Amino acid sequence: MPSASASRRSQEKPREIMDAAEDYAKERYGVSSMIQSQEKPDRVLVRVSDLTVHRADEVIWVRARVHTSRAKGKQCFLVLRQQQFNVQALVAVGDHASKQMVKFAANINKESIVDIEGVVRKVNQKIGSCTQQDVELHVQKIYVISLAEPRLPLQLDDAVRPEVEGEEVKTIFLKYCASSEGRATVNQDTRLDNRVIDLRTSTSQAVFRLQSGICQLFRETLINKGFVEIQTPKIISAASEGGANVFTVSYFKNNAYLAQSPQLYKQMCICADFEKVFCIGPVFRAEDSNTHRHLTEFVGLDIEMAFNYHYHEVVEEIADTLVQIFKGLQERFQTEIRTVNKQFPCEPFKFLEPTLRLEYCEALAMLREAGIEMGDEEDLSTPNEKLLGRLVKEKYDTDFYILDKYPLAVRPFYTMPDPRNPKQSNSYDMFMRGEEILSGAQRIHDPQLLTERALHHGIGLERVTMLFLGLHNVRQTSMFPRDPKRLTP
C-alpha cells in the first residue's frame, strides 16, 4: 500500500527484520494494514494472464496468490497464481531488494495474497511449470495483503495432479493416496471438506467457468429462439412424481415438499399461452444413492414448448440448442477445456450438425451386429447404452445423438404411440458419450391441462458438464454437492 500507511505497516514486520537498521529496502515490503476503503489509489492491477512478451520491460502491479516460494542463496523464486494462470517472480538482492526483503519473501505462507510491483522480463528458456512461459517478473516491491494460515489441509499441487482413468472413483474412499506414479493425489472427500481451497485449483477454476458458460449459452440460444425464462416454485403442496424420493418440509403448521422437477409449472405456462419457456433451477431427489453420478440436489436446465404439427419440431429445437452450447463452448472456452485436460486428458467432444437421429430399430441392428442378443421390445441396459455410444462414435463420428422411436412397451403408459407403427412410440432419449442426458416423449392428450402439444425436457447441468469434459464424478462439477451423506460445506 502507498506511503500514508507505511509507518503502521513497518510496525507489523517480523522483529528480526525490524532490528536490522541497515535495511535499505524497508519501505519496499511488508504486511499491509487492513483495507478500510480509505484511499482509492490510481494503481492499475494487471492480470497474470496478461503478462506476456508484449509487456516486456514494463513496470507493472499485480495482485495474486503465492502458489510456491523457494529461496536459493540471494534469490527467492515465487510462483504467483491467479485463477487458471500463473507466472514466476524473482526477488534478488540488488538495487531494489535487500537480503532482508528476500528473506521476507521466502517466508510468506503459501496461498497468501500479495501486491507486487515488478518489471516484466523476457526469459531465454521457457518456464515449463507456469502458464506464462515466456516472461518472469523482477520484483521491486512486495506487500502481503492477506496472510494465509501456515498449514493447509491439502496441497494445491497434489490436487491438480493428472489422474489415470478410473482412479478418481477408486480414491473416493482413501484419504490421501499415492497415484500410479507414486505421487500424492487428493481424494474427493478431502477436497469437498476443504472446498474453498480445492476450488482455487486451476482445474476447478476452469470447470466452473465452463459451467457458467453452459448456462449462458443455453439461455442465449433459447432467448434467440423466442423462449421466455420462467421461475418455478420449489416448495410445493404435493409430491410431483408419485410421492417417492421426495423431501418433506415443515411449512408453518403443515407439511410441504421440495419439487422433484418444474414440469407441472412449465406445462401450466404452455397452457397459459407462453408457447416456449425454459428455466434453470434446483431440483431435489431424496434418493439414497451413493454413486459417482447421483446427487440429492442438482441444477435442471428445463425446456417446455408447444409444437404445431409434429413432435420432431421440438426434438430438433432441443438438439440444436445442445449443438449451439457445444459449439459455443469450443469457441469461447478453449482455455478452460485445455486447463481441465491437463489434469483429466480426454478426447475433444464431437457432434454433427444437424444432430444424428437414430431410430431404435437401427440401434438394435447395430448392437446385434456387435454380438448382443436383444428382443425387439427390450430396453437398453446401461452397458449396452455405453457400447452403443462407442458403435455410434465409430460409425458416425459423434459423441452426441438422439435415439428416437422407443418401443411403446418400455415407456410409461401416457406415451403417445407412433401413428404408423403401434409397437413404437413418439419418444426418444439424447446421449452424450454413451450416457443418457435427457428423456422426452409426446404425451397423450390431457383434457384438463391441454398438454397434448407440449413436450417436457430437463437436462442436468452437472451431468452435461461432466460428460462434455469427460470427467468421472459429478461432484467435480457441482460446487457444493449434496448427497445422502453430505450436507456441507
Task: Report, as residue numbers or ranges, the catalytic residues.
Answer: 285, 287, 293-294, 436, 439, 463
Q: Which of residues 261-290 bind a second copy (CB under 8 A)?
A: 265, 268-269, 271-275, 280-282, 284, 286, 288
Q: Is 456 in the site for a second copy (CB under 8 A)?
A: no
Sequence length of the chain is 489
Q: Give the one residue of 15, 126, 175, 420 binding a second copy; rule: CB under 8 A.
A: 420
Q: Which of residues 85-124 bind a second copy (CB under 8 A)?
A: none
* For a second copy, the closer CB: 194 or 341: 194
Q: Near a second copy by CB under 8 A, which window of 157-165, 173-181, 216-224, 407-415? A: 216-224
**How many residues bind a second copy, per CB under 8 A?**
93
The number of C-alpha atoms within 13 Å of 10 and in the hemisphere containing its C-beta is: 14
Q: Give the one residue of 247, 335, 352, 362 binding a second copy; rule: CB under 8 A.
A: 247
Q: Which of residues 40-59 bind a second copy (CB under 8 A)?
A: 40-41, 43, 45
CB 85 within 8 A of CB 209: no
* For a second copy, the closer CB: 389 or 460: 460
CB 61 within 8 A of CB 44: yes
CB 435 within 8 A of CB 389: yes
* For a second copy, the closer CB: 76 or 454: 454
Q: Is 480 in the site for a second copy (CB under 8 A)?
A: yes
Cα–Cα distance between 303 and 321 in angstroms, integer? 10
Kindly state the smallest distance separating residue 276's Cβ from a second copy, in Å. Answer: 11
Kindly state the smallest distance separating residue 431's Cβ from a second copy, in Å. Answer: 22
Quickly list DSSP for 305-366: EE-SS-THHHHHHHHHHHHHHHHHHHHH-HHHHHHHHHHS--PPP---SSPEEEEHHHHHHH
Q: Near a second copy by CB under 8 A, which window of 121-129, 354-362, 391-399, 450-458? A: 450-458
Q: Where are the alpha helices (DSSP H) in 233-280?
A: 263-271
The grid coordinates listed for 328 are 459455443
Cα–Cα distance between 182 and 155 in angstroms, integer? 16
Strand partners, 138: 90, 119
Phi and psi of 102, rounded to 5°?
-65, -45
Kindly state the smallest distance separating residue 194's Cβ from a second copy, in Å. Answer: 10
CB 90 within 8 A of CB 139: yes
Q: Give the one residue of 132, 203, 442, 473 binding a second copy; rule: CB under 8 A.
A: 442
Q: Give the one residue of 209, 292, 342, 386 binding a second copy; rule: CB under 8 A.
A: 209
Q: Is 174 in the site for a second copy (CB under 8 A)?
A: no
Q: Which of residues 300-329 bind a second copy (CB under 8 A)?
A: 308-313
Cα–Cα distance between 251 and 266 in angstroms, integer? 24
